[in-house]
């Protein structure tokens, strides 16, 4: 295989997931020859790939250094760590290692709003996309949410691209060059892939490389980059705004969304529930402002945007108890944000949590102990979460989502809410966070009748 690549001067594509398949379609459209690798002996998509790409050479299983060293360039899917020894050896030999984002940026001329962070990426990305459309822009949304970026190239050229980017995608970026870029927040995530929080933080910061304007979270110092000369800086936060800042201000007893010293609208008019979503609304306004979007259509979008499935989604209300699905809360920071966001609700919270912890430290969840009525735990790392709350919060264990919902219904009291926000990945019990969320919603509807 290595001799074939060397003689043909072809690329190597690694990964047969959603991103890998979009990259394969792109390379095929470009008339490029490539060899397709996957670290798994039997990728679940292999049968479909054999039908769609019957003539593409493939290697499955452990990556061979000889194959990579013979490549003209290596295109790595986000799920494959570039720290793999064979990939590192190829990079050290001067072979370009890149991802789908780099390929996408080569092809477009329209500006990009690039959004990353540990939490709230999907909500903010979608919200900014809706704001842009409300302003009359031909905007396309994709990346780590919905449509892979290379599939966006199948659409007519947009006036604006709004991209959600993961730390994995950013690892292969040399200079993104976004019109506007942000890191919404930074908390521990993917510690099974990164050596430390600092290592993870460095990956997130790559979103700022080459940006014309940046948006930072005033209340999270880890979101601030070292700024190059000429880069505009905007900020957001739940505190009072300053110059080029969006925030909250109380006027005559009414909490207002504000920009600098201008009051924009009552915070109560934002349709998304929870204070964490006020932060998301302010971040979206800051991104839109930095990109030159008009204010009034953006504010009108906030009055109507109800949020995304599985992100603090209202499910039901019965007997004075409200049920929320935050299955997308796959790390500790996301769950803390959801708990703190719902803290202003009456009563207390019965939290359903647990799953695959990805090497996370669950200790910070103790900050929310006073808000909890009880904890119902599921999944592989349930005991690790239980250790944080032992002797502080009543704890139940469940072996299925249905059982967890039944137990939560018994524990909750009128005025409380039940929140599914697992602080963990889902793959021990479910096919993904969306499957977990759907099973939660179905169980709630069955239990409530």
Please give the positions annotated as active site: 121, 144, 190
The CA distance from 327 to 420, in Å, is 6
What is the distance of C-alpha 120 from the center of its chain? 6
Distances (CA, A) of 221 to 185, 208, 224, 236: 9, 15, 6, 12
Token pair listed for 199: 């290592």
CA distance 216 to 282: 11
Token pair of 208 as six digits: 């700022």
15: left (phi over 0), alpha (psi -120 to 50) or beta: left
Between the two ends of the chain, the Cα-to-Cα distance in Å is 60
CA 420 to chain CA centroid, Å, is 17
Q: At what angle do helices 18-29 and 100-107 cross, to 10 degrees?
A: 40
State whether residue 251 is helix, strand or coil. Answer: strand
Distance CA 166, CA 17 (A): 15
- SS3 call for 382: helix
Which residue has 């999270």 as its token pair? 220
Burial class (CB in 10 A: 0-12, 13-18, 19+), 387: exposed
Distances 358 to 80, 142, 190, 192, 445 between C-alpha atoms, Å: 15, 25, 6, 5, 30
Task: Look at strands 213-217 and 97-98 and give their pairing.
Answer: unpaired
Phi and psi based region of residue 98 (left: phi greater than 0; alpha: psi -120 to 50; beta: remaining): beta
């Amino acid at each position: 295989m290595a001799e074939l690549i060397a003689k043909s001067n072809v690329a190597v594509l690694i990964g047969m997931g959603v991103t890998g398949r979009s990259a394969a379609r792109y390379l095929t459209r470009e008339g490029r020859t490539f060899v397709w690798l996957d670290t798994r002996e039997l990728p679940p998509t292999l049968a479909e790939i054999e039908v769609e790409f019957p003539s593409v050479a493939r290697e499955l299983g452990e990556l061979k250094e000889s194959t990579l060293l013979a490549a003209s360039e290596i295109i790595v899917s986000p799920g494959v760590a570039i720290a793999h020894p064979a990939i590192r050896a190829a990079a050290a030999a001067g072979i370009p290692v890149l991802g789908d984002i780099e390929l996408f940026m080569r092809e477009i001329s329209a500006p990009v709003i690039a959004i990353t962070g540990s939490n709230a990426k999907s909500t903010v990305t979608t919200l900014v996309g809706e704001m842009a459309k409300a302003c009359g822009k031909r905007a396309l949304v994709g990346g780590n949410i919905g449509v892979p970026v290379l599939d966006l190239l199948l659409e007519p050229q947009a006036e604006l691209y709004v991209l959600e980017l993961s730390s994995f995608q950013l690892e292969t970026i040399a200079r993104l060059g976004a019109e506007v870029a942000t890191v919404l927040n930074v908390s521990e995530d993917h510690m099974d892939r990164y050596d430390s929080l600092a290592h993870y933080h460095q990956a997130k910061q790559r979103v700022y490389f080459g940006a014309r304007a940046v948006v930072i979270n005033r209340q999270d110092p880890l979101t601030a980059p070292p700024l190059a000369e000429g880069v505009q800086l905007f900020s957001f936060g739940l505190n009072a705004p300053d110059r080029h800042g969006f925030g909250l201000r109380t006027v005559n007893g009414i909490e207002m969304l504000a920009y600098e010293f201008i009051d924009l609208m009552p915070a109560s008019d934002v349709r998304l529930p929870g204070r964490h979503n006020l932060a998301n609304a302010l971040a979206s306004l800051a991104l839109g402002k930095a990109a030159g979007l008009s204010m009034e259509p953006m504010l009108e979008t906030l009055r109507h945007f109800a949020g995304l499935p599985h992100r603090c989604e209202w499910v039901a209300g019965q007997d004075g108890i409200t049920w929320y699905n935050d299955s997308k809360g796959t790390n500790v920071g996301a769950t803390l944000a959801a708990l703190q966001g719902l803290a202003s609700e009456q009563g207390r919270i019965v939290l359903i949590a647990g799953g695959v912890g990805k090497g996370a430290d669950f200790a910070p969840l103790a900050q929310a102990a006073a808000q909890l009525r009880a904890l119902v735990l599921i999944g592989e790392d349930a005991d690790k979460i239980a250790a944080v709350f032992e002797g502080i919060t009543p704890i139940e264990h469940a072996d299925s989502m249905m059982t967890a919902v039944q137990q939560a219904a018994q524990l909750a009291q009128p005025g409380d809410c039940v929140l599914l926000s697992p602080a963990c990945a889902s793959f021990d019990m479910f096919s993904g966070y969306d499957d977990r969320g759907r099973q939660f919603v179905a169980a709630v509807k069955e239990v409530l009748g």
